[in-house]
Structure 1
Amino acid sequence: MSDFSKEVESYKEVLKAYNVQEIYKEIILYMRFLRQDFQKENESFRIGGLYEGLMDMTYFSIATDRLLQKKLKLALVFVHGKGSLEMWISGQNREVMKKYRTYFSADPGFFLPAFHEEDNEDALLEFTLAEGKDLPEKEDAYKAVAPMVKNILEQMEKQLENLD
């Protein structure tokens, strides 16, 4: 039996034992529901499509016209390995990320504690909105995280004024 065949056999066992497919489906539905609420409740936001991911992260982007002018965006991310819902400040591409990396290399005074995991090339700065047993139910998720997202957006826009 090849190594790949052995890995597939192990994968099948994990799927059976831990109901992984059903849980993954619930996470995708959770994020779809959250995305729809952001789209419905915030006409001034530009909401990107849902990236379902490869069991690493599932996310959608949130931006305003001002952020898009600067080629920046926020990503509302479910990080599968941590079981956390996070907000990441990100750029349109690696060049934009490089331009703003120094500016966002330290916590510039956001109301939530900011951090940056060195191996995360997709984010300039990260915020944990909820994790583990503190994750709100699907029906309550928007009400729980929207004020934090709006606050981060407002603070970002104010800080970007200083760069002009």
Structure 2
Amino acid sequence: MSYKSLSARIPAYKLHFASGELQRTYQDLVSVVQGLRTEFYNKYKGQFTVAKVLHGYIDFTYFYLQNDYLKKHKLKLAIVFNHQRVQFELWLLGQTKDVQISYWKKLQGVKWVNKDAMPEWSIFEILMLADPDFDDTKALSESIYNAFSALSVEIFNILTVYE
């Protein structure tokens, strides 16, 4: 894929920012993730440590969850909003690239692991919610919470098998 020079891309950049809609939409999406983070913090108090929402690039907004088991194995779970795909994902992360590579190799038989190529930022990524309805944040939150509840149990079961 060839890219135009930075200078050649500036007019389109300015055009997208001119209305303010891009900035408002981005901030609203980040607010949705911040709301989810608060709910997870309250629902999982005592079970997981829930990190603050991380963002800054326009590609992903996310927060980490970690419990004693994950911490011991230098792993984290992340609830990720993928801005390009406009979907929520659950990622298994390693504390370092070496940890991620080690677990990616160890978990080759797992359905979520792409055996041909490790994702750039994670060990594996699971789609939690495609096409979220941002106008019904209560249903959106319930969907994410229910998906996380089911998937985290499955992930922990798999991790203990592959230990």
When residues 142 and 102 of structure 1 are mapped into structure 2, their CA distance, relative to the original with a 3 A threshold, is: same
Question: 5+ residue gaps in structure 1?
Answer: 109-113
Equivalent residue letter for 1:122: W
Query: How far apart, CA to CA, are the structure 2 residues paired with 1:14 and 1:158?
Result: 45
Contact 2:79–2:91 under 8 Å retained in 1: yes
TM-score by length of 1: 0.83
Picking from 25, 28, 50, the partner of 1:26 is 28
- Are residue 49 (structure 1) and residue 48 (structure 2) matched? no
Q: Given residue 97 of structure 1, which amino acid in structure 2 is its aligned partner?
A: Q
Number of matched pairs: 157
1:17 deviates by 5.2
Whether the 8 Å CA contact 1:57–1:77 is kept in 2: the answer is: yes
Correspondence list, 1:66-81, <5 A? 66-81=69-84
| Residue in structure 1 matched with residue 104 of structure 2 by the alignment | 101
Match of 1:145 in 2: 144
Q: Does 2:120 match 1:121? A: yes
Which stretch has the larger CA shift, 149-158 or 75-84? 149-158
Hey, what does 1:111 align to over in structure 2? none
Structure 1 residue 14 corresponds to structure 2 residue 2: no
State, as a whole percentage, how many aligned pairs show the same letter: 22
**Displacement after TM superposition at 1:96 (Å):** 0.6
Q: Secondary structure at the match of 2:149?
A: helix
1:49 counterpart SS class: coil
- The letter of the residue matching 1:145 is I
- Per chain length, whose mean CA-contact separation is higher, i.e. which structure has more relative contact order (CA < 8 Å, sep 6+)? 1
Aligned-residue Cα RMSD (Å) equals 2.4
CA–CA separation in structure 1 for the residues paired with 2:127 and 2:106? 20
